[in-house]
Chain A
Amino acid sequence: MKHQLRKAFLTGSTALVTLAASSLWAFAQEATFVMPTNEVGAATYNPVKSPMINAASPLIFDGLVVQDVDQSFHPHLAESWEEAPDGMQWVFHLRKGVKFHNGEPFNADAIAQWIPSFAGTDNAYMVEAIDKVEVVDENTVKFVMKRPEPNLLFNFASAFMGIPAPKAYKEMGDKFGVTEAIGTGPYKLASFTVGQETVLERNDDYTWGSELSQNKGPAKIQKITFREIPEQSTSFLELKTGGVDLLFGVPTDFIAQVKAEPNLGVITTPAYDVAYMPINVTSEPFTDIKVREATALAVNQKQILDSIYGGIGMEAHNFLISALPEANVDPKLNISYNPERANQLLDEAGWKTGANGVREKDGKPLKVKLWAQTDTEFKRLAEAVQAQLKAIGMDAEITIYDSSAIRDEYKKNQHQLAVRSYEWNNADIIDWFFSGQRLGYPNISMWNDPKGEELNKKAMTGSKTLEERIANFKAYHEYVLSQFVFAPIYQPVTSVAYNKDRLKVTDTMLKKGIEPSQIMDLEVVQ
Chain B
Amino acid sequence: MLFYTVRRLLLLIPVFLVVSIVIFLIIHLVPGDPIDNLVRVGSTPEQKAEITARYGLDRPLVEQYLIWLSQLAQGDLGTAIVMRRPVADLIAQNLPYSLTLGGLALLFSTVLGIAAGVIAAMNKEGRIDRTVMTGVLFGSTMPSFWLGLILILVFAVQLRWFPVSGARSWESLVLPVLTIGLGGMALVARVTRIAMLETAGKDFVLLLHAKGLPARRIQLRHVLRHALLPVVTILGLRIGWVLGGAVTVEYVFARPGLGMLLIKALSQHDYPVVQACLLMLAMAVMLGTLLGDLIQAAMDPRVRSALT
Contacts and interface: CB of A to CB of B under 8 A. Distances in A.
A523 to B, nearest CB: 24
Contact of A125 (B45, B47, B256, B264): B47
In which size bucket is the chain A interface? 35 or more
A234 B164 contact: yes
A94 B156 CA distance: 50
A195 B42 contact: no
Contacts of A409: 31
Nearest to A238: B164
**Residue picked from B40, B164, B251, most chain A C-beta under 10 Å:** B164
A419 to B, nearest CB: 19
Interface residues of B, number: 48
Interface in B267-285: 267, 269
A468 interface: no
B45 A195 contact: no
Contacts of B67: none
Nearest to B166: A227
B165 A43 contact: no
Interface in B141-167: 149, 152-153, 156-157, 160, 163-167
Contacts of B80: 43
B47 A237 contact: no
Contacts, number: 118
Contact of B157 (A194, A241, A404): A241
Nearest to A42: B83
A408 B84 CA distance: 24
Interface stretch (A48-56, A209-217, A291-299, A385-393): A48-56
Q: Is the interface of B mostly helix, strand, loop or mixed?
A: loop
Contacts of B160: 241
B131 interface: no
B74 interface: no
A227 B254 contact: yes
Contact of B254 (A51, A178, A231, A431): A231
A230 B263 contact: yes
A402 B36 CA distance: 14
A196 B36 contact: no
Contact of A437 (B31, B42, B44): B44
A349 B167 CA distance: 63
B94 A195 contact: yes
A125 B261 CA distance: 29
Contacts of A424: 41
B32 A405 contact: yes
Nearest to A432: B41
B252 A51 contact: no
A270 interface: no
A428 B30 contact: no
A238 B44 CA distance: 42
A405 B254 contact: no
B157 A234 contact: no
Given A43-B80, A234-B164, A243-B163, A51 B31 contact: no
Contacts of B93: 193-194
Given A227-B254, A404-B30, 17 more contacts: A40-B264, A49-B84, A51-B38, A122-B40, A125-B43, A195-B94, A195-B264, A231-B254, A233-B149, A234-B252, A235-B254, A237-B157, A237-B165, A241-B157, A407-B36, A424-B41, A428-B42
23 contacts: A40-B264, A41-B83, A44-B85, A50-B84, A51-B40, A122-B43, A194-B85, A196-B254, A197-B166, A228-B254, A230-B251, A230-B260, A230-B264, A231-B254, A234-B164, A237-B156, A237-B157, A243-B166, A404-B31, A404-B267, A408-B33, A424-B41, A429-B41
Of all A-B residue pairs in the complex, the 7 with the closest CB atoms, nearest first, are: A404-B32, A405-B31, A229-B254, A408-B31, A43-B83, A41-B264, A196-B256
